[in-house]
Structure 1
Amino acid sequence: MSQTVPPVAPWSPKDKDSRWPVILTSIIDNIYRRNHNISMGADRDSHVDMVNNGKELISKLAELKYGMAHNRALVDLPDDGGLDIVVYNRELKRLEEENNNTWFTAPWLFAEYRLIRAWFALMPLWQQYDPFLEQKTSAFKASGNAIYHIANTMLELGSGEKGYLKEEQLEILFDEMIQMCLWGNATDLSLLPTMDYSDIHTLQSVGKAARAAGQAFILRNDSKAVWQLVRSLKDARIDIILDNSPLQLFTDLVLADFLVTHTPFVSQVIFHPKLIPWFVSDVVPGDYAALLSSSTDWASFFNSGTSEEHSKDDIRSLDELMSRWRAYVSDGTFKLAVDPSTPLGIPSPTEGDGTLKTAETFWTLPNSFWSLPSQEILCTSLKGSGLVIFKGDLKLTADVKWPPTTSFSDAIGPVRGLFPILSLRTCKAEVVVGLEEGVAERLSATEPGWRVTGKYGLISLEP
């Protein structure tokens, strides 16, 4: 598989305040609690092997955490049957030849999460366990106010039959929808270890004043150009490359609902998930299926463990919105790029020809999206889209040390021109492109951590 590499040095953990040790600790704690609950259960005797496997996972993770702190070399990934293991290990070999295969020298966005997934995959009793699910669920339970507010707003636009709004209304609403999707990404759970619930509520604020204030923190804003592109479409398909779950997935569905329900421009939205738990909160097929489940008691879910009470109207609005989304799933208006029941794991290759059995495997390969043109099946599919929305652009631009004034067009390299691209990204990693002269310098002087706090955002279009 060919890989095109940007002509700029990558970021490595030594350049960053890495959150990985914190995340590893949270996985260890999660497995420990799971083991404890099993051991205290009435049927504990039948789950001895699972508990023992859990202890083995904890030991491996603790050793990995120690290796991170002591700049050990990255190890080859064990073969769990996925073709991508070959890709990862080939890249590891290249890094070793370049003397860049230790924890402080390897590219930051690389191996450890795939290694963790391989450990889980090789233990049948833990193979389908998402160690991040508990964090995702807890964060979503803390989002009730935002969820109900959004549901009420969407139902105020009109419920039931599709109804196209006037264009002047559409443009204003579209701008608000784009901002909502942008700031929904602020709740990436890899940041949550250092945040409390009051911070989460602040980041999820969706009121008009909050959106107006939020514009001041959008360092690049192509939203007007995006609107001009969208309004030129007719019954088009939109693709969304999903990032985080669950609140951001909810806001992605809201944007999709707005486009297909209230405009003549879009008739179908395809959502692209990750196939394995990836970088804490990334969407896997089960997250999509769970959110759209018809069996969820939202009143109990959002009130669980809190003192907040929501009105019957709030609950009715959310139920009605979810019902509409399930209807869109049934008729193909909303479509996940893989079957929602797809189990966790990377599919094996087809006839030994080295091609990916499932195109969605691409999203968790170790290389940047600069190599997308080599993925013929996936690339051909995306070329049929009226607009491809990337939630975040870290791998789209590659996690390298671009000068901040590098154009977005240059930073996406070979992907440029394949199809219309919209990137919605909050700044939670060092890579930033598309800024005007002097902006980065001003922020670095006044807010040294501005690249990684999630306070600032980018709306970047490459038509």
Structure 2
Amino acid sequence: MTETLAPEIDSSDPSSFPWSVFHDRHPVLIERVATQLPRPASHRAALDALLLESTSGTITAPDVDALRHEPWPWWRPEYRGLPWGETPFLWAESYFYRRILDAVDYFVPGPWRGVDPFAPTKMGELAGEAVDDELAALDASPEWDALVQSSLWGNRADLSFQAGPTAGSETGGLIADDSDAFRALVHDRAPGAVHLIADNAGRELLPDLILLDHLLDAGLATAAVLHVKPHPYYVSDATTADVLAALNRLTGAPGRARDVGERLDGFLRDGRLEIDAHEFFCGPLTYQALPVDLRSRFAEASLTISKGDLNYRRLVGDRHWHATAPFAGLTSHFPSPLAALRTLKCDVAVGLTEETLVRLDATGKSWRLTGEYAVIHTRG
């Protein structure tokens, strides 16, 4: 059944979560980018100008020099001159992060070309003691359910989320749980190629890689494709460089973590594990608009695992859906069987029962935003 389209989410309402992203979270983010590396004054000026424009000004066009070297095909000329909050939130967020890269000369030939503005934050997390403890836990040889839970709750490690005021330390549990169906999609079918659309680097990417290692090593997948971003995006989003850094972290650890890292290294070398970094993943379109080449890749998958909030928004549409709208119906456009693992840190929520929705609303919490709750959705 096709759902009637709900209104697109924007950031025009000062009481809304999207408004808080632009006005509370982004100033913290801009300050980090401006100060964590010894940047020239021109970078600071461009970052400050972007913050002022995105919080109290109107949308201006992308930098011409940057576009000459790396086009942004999702620029919408009709949005020029509009307040940022009056454009779709998905587009505005994506454009904001693209403009950060322009501000720090990421695409322009010169000394700052290709320097990830979020690398200090990502590398600091990856080197932390918390990662040591998590990798040491691998020595207990966790089974399937534990590996899935680790990948799921690793999605809480979102560095842009940590820049805001909504991060919670409690875990409220699964509010939609298709774990059994997910297991069946993996264990009760003939092995095939499994695709994983990554979300965050560091503490989330590590359990994702460990999950892929398990699928390949146990013969539950004949091949695996890890989809990452072709360049920095949304602070902690994983790039190829972040995958390699995570592999180094694994191979440099003691015990079973090193074994996992060495196997993954071998899987990459023999082609059973492939990294894909399609430009589409750094754009503001939903997966209904998959380009032909990427749609064909997913159509060949026996299963696609989607991680995190942004991929979830792009799967179901960044809209004010009623939380009981069916996940399967909203993702019927996707060309392969699907499993979505996500902790809730934004407004979009679907696939809940009416009973669950009433219970959550009765808590008085902003339960969609705090990262305390999670979902595992599937569509065969």
Residue among 224, 242, 261 paired with 1:322? 261
Deviation at 1:145, TM superposition (A): 4.0
Match of 2:136 among 141, 149, 162: 149
Cα 1:334–1:6 change in 2 (3 A) is farther
Q: CA deviation at 1:85?
A: 4.2
Question: Within 5 Å, which residues of 2 pair with 1:386-425?
Answer: 386-392=302-308, 393-412=312-331, 414-415=333-334, 418-425=335-342
Question: What corresponds to 1:280 in structure 2?
Answer: 235
TM-score by length of 2: 0.87
* Counterpart code for 1:7: L
Residues 173-226 of structure 1: CA deviation (Å, up to 9, x unaligned): 322222211101011111223589xx99x67xxxxxxxxxx6x62111111111
Among 281, 287, 296, the residue aligned to 1:363? 281
Question: Separation in 1 of the partners of 2:183 and 2:207?
Answer: 18
Give the deviation of 1:29 after TM superposition.
3.5
Q: Is the 8 A contact 1:24 1:61 kept in 2?
A: no
Which of 363, 376, 379 lines up with 1:459 in the alignment?
A: 376
Aligned to 1:310: none
Q: Give the whole-Å Cα distance in 2 for the aligned partners of 1:424 and 1:296.
A: 26
Partner of 2:144: 174
2:3 counterpart of 1:19: no
Q: Which amino acid aligns with 2:285?
A: N
TM-superposed CA distance for 1:328, in Å, is 1.8
Q: CA deviation at 1:294?
A: 8.2
- Cα offset, 1:86, TM superposition: 5.3
Tell me the equivalent position of 1:65: 51
- Structure-to-structure mapping, 1:31-430, within 5 angstroms: 31-35=34-38, 51=39, 54-70=40-56, 72-79=57-64, 80-81=66-67, 85=71, 87-89=73-75, 91-93=76-78, 95=79, 101-110=82-91, 111-119=95-103, 120=105, 121-122=107-108, 124-142=110-128, 143-154=130-141, 173-193=143-163, 217-262=173-218, 264-293=219-248, 297-298=252-253, 315-338=254-277, 360-372=278-290, 375-392=291-308, 393-412=312-331, 414-415=333-334, 418-430=335-347
The 8 Å contact of residues 244 and 281 in structure 1, kept in 2 or not, is answered as: yes
| Matches of 2:237 and 2:208, distance apart in 1 | 13
1-structure distance, mates of 2:184, 2:174: 19
Shift of 1:56: 1.1
User: Shift in Å at residue 369 of structure 1?
Assistant: 1.5
Query: Cα distance 1:399–1:440, how it changes in 2: closer, same or farther (>3 A)?
Result: same
Q: Gaps (5+ residues) in structure 2?
A: none
In structure 2, the residue matched to 1:41 is: none
Aligned to 1:347: none
Cα displacement (A) at 1:30: 3.6
Q: Distance in 1 between matches of 2:229 and 2:208?
A: 15
Give the counterpart letter for 1:75 in structure 2: T
Rounded to whole Å, the distance in 2 between the matches of 1:122 and 1:369 is 29
Counterpart residue identity of residue 106, structure 1:
T
The share of aligned pairs that are identical, in percent, is: 23
Measure how far apart 1:335 and its partner are. 1.5
For residues 8 and 19 of structure 1, the distance between their equivalents in structure 2, rounded to whole angstroms, comes to 21
AA aligned to 1:462 is R
Aligned length: 363
Aligned-partner Cα distance in 1 for 2:285–2:249 = 38
Query: What SS does structure 2 have at the residue aligned with 1:34?
Result: coil
Contact 2:251 2:258 in 1 (8 A): no
Residue 272 of structure 1 and its aligned partner are, at CA, apart by 0.6
SS class of match (2:304)? strand
**Using the alignment, how far apart are the partners of 2:62 and 2:332 within structure 1?**
29
Residues 33-76 of structure 1 show CA distances to partners (whole Å, capped at 9, x for unaligned) of 422xxxxxxxxxxxxxxx5xx31121111122122332x22112
1:432 equivalent in structure 2: 349
Confirm or deny: 8 A CA contact 2:30 2:48 kept in the other structure. Answer: no
SS at match of 2:256: helix
Q: Distance in 1 between matches of 2:220 and 2:258?
A: 26
**2: distance between equivalents of 1:363 and 1:369?**
10
Instruction: Give the direction of change, closer, same or farther, for the CA distance of 1:287–1:86 in structure 2 (3 Å limit).
Output: closer
**Radius of gyration: which is bigger?**
1
User: 1:404·1:432 contact (CA, 8 Å) conserved in 2?
Assistant: yes
Give the partner amino acid of 1:394. R
Aligned partners of 1:399, 1:58: CA distance in 2, in Å?
31
Q: 2:185 is aligned with what amino acid?
A: L
2-structure distance, mates of 1:58, 1:409: 45
SS at match of 1:139: helix
- Judged with a 3 Å threshold, the aligned counterparts in structure 2 of structure 1 residues 87 and 441 are, in CA distance, closer, same or farther, namely farther
- Native 8 Å contact 2:69 2:108 kept in 1: no
Asked if the contact 2:195/2:224 (under 8 Å) is kept, the reply is: yes
Contact conserved, 1:77 with 1:85, CA < 8 A, in 2?
no
Separation in 2, partners of 1:83, 1:122? 7
Shift of 1:134: 1.0
Q: Decide whether the 8 Å contact of 1:233 with 1:266 is kept in 2.
A: no
Task: Report the counterpart of residue 6 of structure 2 in structure 1.
Answer: 8
Q: Is the 8 A contact 2:360 2:367 kept in 1?
A: yes
**TM-score, normalization: structure 1?**
0.72
Q: For 1:444, what is the secondary structure of its paired residue?
A: helix
Q: CA RMSD in A?
A: 2.7
Q: Retained in 1: the 8 A contact 2:182–2:378?
A: yes
